[in-house]
Amino acid sequence: MRSPIPEYLDEVLRNCADDRAGAVADYVPELAAADPEQLAVAVSAVDGTVYEAGDSRSAFTIQSISKPFVYALALADRGCEAVLARIGVEPSGEAFNELSLEEGSARPRNPMINVGALTAHTLAGPPGAPREERFERIVAGISAFAGRRLEVDEAVCRSEWGTAHRNLAIAHMLRGYEVIEEDAPRVVADYIRQCSLLVTTRDLALMAATLANGGVQPVTGEQVVSREVVRQVLSVMTTCGMYDAAGDWVTTVGIPAKSGVSGGILGALPGQVGIGVLSPRLDRHGNSVRGVRVCERLSADMGLHLMEAPAPARSALRGGRVLHGPGSRSALVHELQGTLQFAGAERLVHGIAHTPPGHDEIGLDLTRVHSVNSVARRMILETVRRLTLDGHAVTLIDPEGVLPDPDAGDGVRPRVVDTWEWGAAPGPGS
């Protein structure tokens, strides 16, 4: 059987192919030379399986899509507080005014506009590092998201330098307000090199999947940045990634995203997928016309939207069985299932708190549970602790080890078994 997903992606591209609105960016000769008909999409599962359609292996310069990743590196290297002191997180509203800083703080409003991205560039790597070292950190860091070493397109880089007036303006202004401390033209030169890294649409999907996967590159398995950094980056992409229409993007697409002037769009839906799209013609906001359409289709067809939660986890507590053992012993075994986060663990706690007394033993059957996050783990262990202190013998049935090393505190550790078995009969003194 062939997977229907590539066919589906082919169909999505076919549906958008006739839309020739917009224009290729022409402020840089090398960009203006892009084939306007290029069209590609790639979707990566959070385990790194990639589905592709169109010119998904063609290389183009990453441009502004480098911004969230360099922001991520800055957060990783300097810490959230230090980065927030230099760059805000608010949508900027007007594209035209993109040189402006927040009144009062004199910070760039967010890292997704050039003024913030130039600042983020200077915050990658350790403080005071030479520019060569910082640039290598950036190339290596973005490459780690992609899972392969990326190269600079030197021709585009040279071409962009010739028309870098606005970025030079921004960098000098940042220097004037002491937001950056480096020599302004050098920062611009390196930033342009950053933007000239070559990626494919497939790369974008894998880079996005790394974000969707909590910072772990799904193919290499490398934890590129921490979950906390990913959360911050995805949050900022949500409100600031698609320029001056945050609300419109969140309501209609609902996928944290970033676009670039080459016509690429990258989207990452936490826990679900990474998406890459390419089509060089841009709308007046600077977003790829067909790229936006593809994202809207994927969101609508596939239910990929931040607000489209999984069906409520009400069945985390699947039920209970009463077992009768030797010597009139009885056990109540609670059966759990699914992915346990707060909501699921709450079901467990709720169910146990309301079950009738009278059973010697309590079993928690985790056989059908496939993952337990940290708050759910804490809640299960607290439940174990309380039940034990209430005089119950507690057993975890956990054949796959989803709750490893179950130390409930106060010296309480439940028995762990693969399938139910009666424990030793309680001695007279227990």
Shortest separation between residue 396's beta carbon and a copy of itself, angstroms: 16
Q: Which residue among 14, 126, 148, 315 contacts a copy of itself (CB under 8 A)?
A: 315
- Residue 64 appears among annotated catalytic residues: yes
Compute the least distance from the CB of residue 173 to a copy of itself, in Å: 4
Tell me if 317 sits within 8 A of 329, measured CB to CB: no
What is the Cα–Cα distance from 11 to 5, expressed in whole angstroms?
A: 10
Q: What is the nearest approach in angstroms of a copy of itself to the Cβ of residue 205?
A: 13
Q: Check residue 320 for interaction with a copy of itself (CB under 8 A).
A: no
Mind giving me the DSSP string for 188-254? Answer: HHHHHHHHTBEEEHHHHHHHHHHHHTTTB-TTT--B-S-HHHHHHHHHHHHHHTTTT-HHHHHHHT-
Rounded to a whole number, what is the distance in angstroms from the first to the last CA of the chain?
60
List 26, 371, 401, 407, residue binding a copy of itself (CB under 8 A): 371
Torsion of CA 78, 144, 131, 120, to 10 degrees: -50
Q: Is 71 annotated as a binding residue?
A: no
CB 180 within 8 A of CB 173: no
Q: Is residue 347 helix, strand or coil?
A: helix
Q: By CB under 8 A, what part of segment 215-234 binds a copy of itself?
A: 227, 230-232, 234
Is 375 a binder of a copy of itself (CB under 8 A)?
Answer: yes
Find the helix or strand (DSSP H, E) in which 387 lies. Answer: helix 374-389
CB-nearer residue toward a copy of itself: 38 or 114:
114
Nearest-angstrom CA–CA distance, 428 and 17 = 79
- 177 catalytically annotated: no
Active-site residue, 430 included: no
Using the rule CB under 8 A, is 114 a contact of a copy of itself?
Answer: no
The interface with a copy of itself within residues 79-98 (CB under 8 A) comprises 88-91, 93, 96-97
Residues 194-213 that bind a copy of itself (CB under 8 A): 212-213
Footprint (CB under 8 A) of a copy of itself, residues 250-269: 250-251, 254, 256, 269
262 labelled catalytic: no
* Using rule CB under 8 A, residue 303 touches a copy of itself: yes
Of the residues 67, 199, 230, 384, only one is catalytic, namely 67
Is 154 annotated to bind ligand? no
Strands 317-324, 330-340: pairing kind = antiparallel
CA distance 90 to 100: 13
Q: Does 383 bind a copy of itself (CB under 8 A)?
A: yes
Active site (catalytic) residues: 64, 67, 191, 243, 261
